[in-house]
Amino acid sequence: MTSTLAILGAAGAIGRALTARALADGWSVVALDLAASLAAHPPPDKAASVALDLRDAASVGAAFAGLGPLGGFVNLAGFMSPHQPLADTALDTFDEVITGNLRGAFIAAQAALPRLREGGGAMVNVVSGLGGNPRPGFGPYAAAKAGMISLTKTLALEAAPDVRVNAVGPSALNTAFLRGGAGRQETNPAPIDLDAMARATPLGRIAVPADVVGPIMFLLGPDASFMTGQVLWVNGGGYMP
C-alpha cells in the first residue's frame, strides 16, 4: 500500500526537490502551500496539491481534514525578516516572523498528528542552524526556530510511541528563502556573504536542496525507526553542537 506524504511548503526549493524524491521513492505526495506559491511552482502531475494559509488555523484544519491517513508529514514552511539587530526590529516584524514560523508550526502539527496516528507516520520539522547557533541580525527567525526545536522535542515525547517527531537543521542555502521566502516579495538582499560562508565551511561549499532532502527521507523511513526528538544538523561541519 502506498503511503501518503504531506509536504508543507512544497513550492519552495527544498519542497520541490523533496516532492520529486518522494515520488521517485514511491510515496503518494500532497503538496501544501499558499495558493499563490502553488500557482507559481505547481507540483508534478503525480502529486496532489492543497492550498492553505498558516496564519489561518481554520484554513490549516480544513486542508488536513481532507487528507486521510498520513505516512509522513514534513514542515518546510517559514520565512526570514530583514537582516537587522533586535534593538532595531519593529514589534510588528517580530510578531510576523514568530507567527509565520513558530505559531504556524504549532497549528500544522496539531492538524497533522491525528492523520499521522491513523497512518502510523512520522513528522519532520525543518528548523535552522540559527535555532541552535544564533548569529547577529537574525534574531526573530532564530528565536522562532529555537522554539520549533523545543516544539519538536515536546511533540516527540507526547506523541510517542505512535508518531515519531524529528527535525532537520540546515545551514543557509542560496535560494529565494534568503531573500524573504518563497511566496513573499523577494526584495531583501541575501543577508550573508555566501562565498565567505563556503570558504569557512569544512566541506567547502554552500548546501543545496538535495543535501536536506536526504536526511528528511531518512527520518521518515524505517532506518530511523528508533529515533524521535532528534535534530539532524546539515551544515557541512560549520556547526557542531
- Do 163 and 122 form a contact (C-beta atoms < 8 A)? yes
What pLDDT shows up at residue 44?
95
Tell me the pLDDT tens digit for each residue of 41-81: 999 999 999 999 999 999 999 999 999 999 999 999 999 88
Q: Which domains does the chain have, with CATH numbers?
A: 4-234 (3.40.50.720)
- Which of residues 191 and 182 earns the better pLDDT score? 191
pLDDT grade, residue 174 (50/70/90)?
confident
One-letter identity of residue 236: G
- Do 83 and 132 form a contact (C-beta atoms < 8 A)? no
| pLDDT at 184 exceeding the cut of 80 | no
DSSP 27-59: -EEEEEE-HHHHHHSPPPTTSEEEE--TT-HHH
Phi, psi of 168 (to 5 degrees): -120, 130
What pLDDT shows up at residue 168?
98
Residue 185 CB partners (closer than 8 Å, separation 6+): none
Handedness of CA 194, 205, 37, 117 (dihedral sign): negative
What pLDDT shows up at residue 17?
97
Q: Report d(CA 6, CA 223) in Å as an integer.
A: 20
Active site residues: 141
Q: Report d(CA 230, CA 149) in Å as an integer.
A: 9
Query: Is the whole model's pTM more than 0.85, yes or no?
Result: yes
Cell numbers for 237, please give them.
561541519
